[in-house]
Amino acid sequence: MQYTGAEVVWECLIREGVDVVWAYPGGAALPLFDALSKYPQIHFVLVRHEQAAAHAADGFARATGKVGVCAATSGPGATNLVTGIATAMLDSVPMVAITAQVADSVIGTDAFQEINITGITLPITKHNYLVRQSQDLARTLREAFFLARTGRPGPVLVDIPKDILTGPCEFHYPDRISRPGYRPVVRSAPYQIQRAAQLIADAKHPVVLAGHGVHIAKAWEELRRFAERISAPVISTLLGLSALSADHPLCLGMAGMHGVAWANLAVQNADLLIALGMRMDDRFTGSLKHFAPQAKLLHVDIDPAEIGKRVPAALPMVGDVRCVLEALTEALPDLDHQDWLAQVEAWRTQHPLEIHAQGLLPPQEVVRALQRATDGEGLVVSDVGQHQMWVAQHYRFRRLNSFFTSGGLGTMGYSLPAALGVQVGHPTEPVWVVVGDGSFQMNLQELATVAQERLPIKIVIMDNGYLGMVRQWQELFHGARYIGTPISGPDFVQLAGSYGIPARRVSATDELDAAFAAAKQAKGPFLLDCKVEQGENVYPMVQPGTSNTDFVEDPRGRTQE
């Protein structure tokens, strides 16, 4: 049977189990979207900006574990995907981005809306393709999905010239893909398991570090069993939050620049760090010279390039986190570290995460109101900035894999479009967006997509009239010269209303519970504009270039709450 190239694209996607595509049409891509009329089983979501398409595919992938798919036309449509692709790359999110290209015959002539998108995205994709022959199209798409989801996941881009989309194309979908040289190691060698088991058994002050790889491997139950077997505290990276329920007695929360004090003290005083699916990035380690000076590092990651990249590993273990944890738990007896756990608990008592109330509406209280409204079971999508850190500190994630945010790239504007994908991935459950007034204005046009798709997304704006995190750094390190950080915005309540989305303004702490109850009870979307204290800073804070033991706590000191 003869197909057009465009039809082959959709046939391939259906065989990969794709049922939703986030996209924005345009000239070179018209044949692709025209052919979609023959495939009603695929839901096409029209976003209002291509960047949002990439973030939505990203959120869908993180929430479901499936490959997210976005599509755009040539030229500016393709380049508008770049930030979302880079976000997915740094956070190891499986994504396939399909871009239309000008006709093959005019590639290289600076044709209308021609851009070398494969060249642009080469550093920010796991792999990318420019399809020059129609007979290569199905195999290329098969490979793209295979690469996106296997090993260390990541985004793959497929660029397809318009004449290939419109031309005839025989369709044969390969049963399997062979990529010589690409064989991700899933299971560590038995002798490595035995060496690791001995290292763990000898440790007196072990700490388990849960990174995003725990979520990617869906190793939540394996993490819990392993931590209980060795009686060791579990500390998360930003993207590792919700890998273990906050109610679990071994869960200590997040360490790093804005991590809780007791978690940082545990890391810094450990004699063994068991790092699971994490990059040991600078925001987590602080000064490498001073990082965990007494600790050996047992580093588990499916990507060998990450092991020892920043912190030397006493024992490198290449493999899938889930498989490695299963083998280690089997190889180890029950261990007892009660004295170590008691010391960690003492640090928690000495350095409580308190709110030193200032103004009518401290932003931390907004997060705690969200905690009460959802009982820690919400699906929370945070943007980037102070509010992101307050969520990480004050929201107790009881539900596994329930926190979604941009980690490595720190992409402002991520949360609202990513929530589109999280919500479609979990259609019966409300998704909560926590966003600053600066971040929200980067992609607020996606309110139209929320309304169009009738998605019950609840949006909580931390509205302080500043780019808060940058303002905080200006205050602490640049003489309080607030250049470019005061930011105005629209009336967010009226803006939401213009899209048919009910909204409510909150100006004081005693209004929070009623406002969150109204948002929770709404069957559709709802927006809360929370007018929080403008000058509030995030504490604790580890200053750049210093040890994680040198954290600065709120200088206002303890108050009675």
What is d(CA 194, CA 331) in angstroms, rounded to the nearest whole number?
7
Rounded to an integer, the average pLDDT of 531-540 is 96
pLDDT, tens digit, 9 for 90 and up, residues 476-510:
999 999 999 999 999 999 999 999 999 999 999 99
In the block, residue with structure tokens 């030397």: 312
The band of 561, judged by pLDDT with boundaries at 50, 70 and 90, is very low
The band of 170, judged by pLDDT with boundaries at 50, 70 and 90, is confident
Report the range of poorest mean pLDDT among 6-15, 368-377, 545-554.
545-554
pLDDT, tens digit, 9 for 90 and up, residues 60-113:
999 999 999 999 999 999 999 999 999 999 999 999 999 999 999 999 999 999
pLDDT at 559: 42
Measured at the CA of 533, the angle between CA 531 and CA 534, to 5 degrees, comes to 100
Q: What is the 3-state secondary structure (H, E, C) of 116-184?
A: CHHHHHHHHCCEEEECCCHHHHHHHHHHHHHHHHCCCCCEEEEEEEHHHHHCEEECCCCCCCCCCCCCC
> Which residues 6+ apart lie within 8 Å of 37 measured at CB?
none
Taken in order of first residue, the domains within the chain and their CATH numbers are: 2-170 (3.40.50.970), 190-350 (3.40.50.1220), 363-531 (3.40.50.970)
Helix, strand, or coil here: 382? strand
Q: Is the pLDDT of residue 144 over 90?
A: yes
Mean pLDDT of the chain: 96
- Residue 129 pairs in a beta bridge with 158
The band of 234, judged by pLDDT with boundaries at 50, 70 and 90, is very high
What residues are labeled active site?
50, 112-113, 162, 469
Rounded to an integer, the average pLDDT of 29-38 is 97
pTM above 0.75, yes or no: yes
CB of 310 closer than 8 Å to CB of 241? no
Helix, strand, or coil here: 325? helix
CA distances from 488 to 383, 463, 506, 528, 559 (A): 18, 10, 17, 17, 32
What is d(CA 318, CA 300) in angstroms, rounded to the nearest whole number?
6
CB of 177 closer than 8 Å to CB of 149? no
Label residue 9 left, alpha or beta by phi (over 0 means left) and psi (-120 to 50 means alpha).
alpha
The band of 557, judged by pLDDT with boundaries at 50, 70 and 90, is confident
pLDDT at 1: 72
pLDDT at 558: 52
pLDDT, tens digit, 9 for 90 and up, residues 363-420:
999 999 999 999 999 999 999 999 999 999 999 999 999 999 999 999 999 999 999 9
